Amino acid sequence: MSENEPLLSVQNMEKHFPVTKGLFKRQVGAVKAVDGISFDVFKGETLGLVGESGCGKSTTGRLVTRLLEPTAGKIVFEGQDISHMGQGRLRPLRRDMQMIFQDPYSSLNPRHTVGAIVGAPYRIQGVKTENGVKKAVQDILELVGLNPEHYNRYPHEFSGGQRQRIGIARTLALKPKLIIADEPVSALDVSIQAQVVNLLEDLQKELDLTYVVIAHDLSVVRHISDRVAVMYLGKIVEVADRKSLYSVPMHPYTNALMSAVPVPDPKVRKDRDRIRLKGDVPSPLNPPPACRFHTRCWKAQDICKKVEPPLAQMAEGHQVACHFPENAPELPAAETAAKTG
């Protein structure tokens, strides 16, 4: 896969939201929601974006679908630079790029029937369907595991899991190439989560879809992704394929995140020494200088406060932005510092 051109390529993308004050809206600062991130998404793969709240993962999703305009950097979709394209020129591209939202309660219009919701993309894009829109919508409803006869029902008549399926049906209507799923299962019950995760995987195989899955749940992301990018305060701190990220995580933050996930095994809790991170994520309004994780990192030294570590290749397909990565094969010194918080 990786020999080909990426389907989506993001280069040094930034989004700073201005903070204004006073009558004349003088800008007094900026929330650096996304602060220079680069990644590629190849056809047919699933890239997972994980991080805690406020790390900029949702903003990233909204930027690549161009629901927001980046303040700097480039977004290239299928070879076209879309970073500052106007709405008119974006519209035809929206067919190829769709989004699944987190909350299946607020992302469906309660006054529209399922038929109207799933059929809207055809109407808006002016797409002709062979046997009429109704038939096309019913086919898609069937594809996502809903009863096609529920065409005339309203969203409130469905359960959370079914609503999420309606949302997925809507994104699939125009046969997109890239789907950005922002927390697609976090609002659902455990047993329903698994159904939707399986559905997303089946659809990917069947329709040759490419996914960017944004989630805070590391186990869901591991299950669904081929590659995973970990974000912290607007930066990507580590990118790797799923296997090496979860078996040899290099960035201290990734390590801390993984050790924080509660393990559903009562025996494990007793003999596990967890990395305890101190404090909370700092505000993106005023992020720490240089390495943004240094305020909470147990390995931080002077250099971490002065020089920002670049996102560097440490192993095949494994990039890390850290001065003192763990498990790094090349660096023999300094990596076995005590893991105490």
- 116, 194, 315, 331: which one binds another protein (CB under 8 A): 194
**Which range in 33-41, 87-95, 261-269, 325-333 contacts another protein by CB under 8 A?**
261-269
Indicate whether 264 belongs to the interface with another protein (CB under 8 A).
Answer: yes
- 256, 291, 304, 320: which one binds another protein (CB under 8 A): 256
- 14, 69, 103, 201: which one binds another protein (CB under 8 A): 201
- 1, 19, 207, 260: which one binds another protein (CB under 8 A): 260
Indicate whether 332 belongs to the interface with another protein (CB under 8 A).
Answer: no
Q: How many CA atoms lie within 13 A of 144 on its CB side?
A: 25
Indicate whether 89 belongs to the interface with another protein (CB under 8 A).
Answer: no
* Residue type (1 letter), 261: V
Indicate whether 172 belongs to the interface with another protein (CB under 8 A).
Answer: no
Q: Which is nearer to another protein, 223 or 339 (CB)?
A: 223
145: left (phi over 0), alpha (psi -120 to 50) or beta: left
Please check whether residue 95 is in contact with residue 176, taking contact to mean a CB–CB distance below 8 angstroms: yes
DSSP annotation of 152 reads G
Q: How far is the CB of 269 from another protein (least distance, A)?
A: 5
202: left (phi over 0), alpha (psi -120 to 50) or beta: alpha
Q: Which is nearer to another protein, 109 or 198 (CB)?
A: 198
- What 3 state SS string does 66-103 have? CCCCCCEEEEEECCEECCCCCHHHHHHHHCCEEEECCC
Please check whether residue 52 is in contact with residue 216, taking contact to mean a CB–CB distance below 8 angstroms: yes
Indicate whether 223 belongs to the interface with another protein (CB under 8 A).
Answer: yes
Separation of alpha carbons 42 and 339, rounded Å: 36
Give the residues lining the site for another protein (CB under 8 A).
52-53, 159-162, 189-195, 197-198, 201, 216, 218-220, 222-223, 242, 246, 256-269, 274, 276-277, 279-281
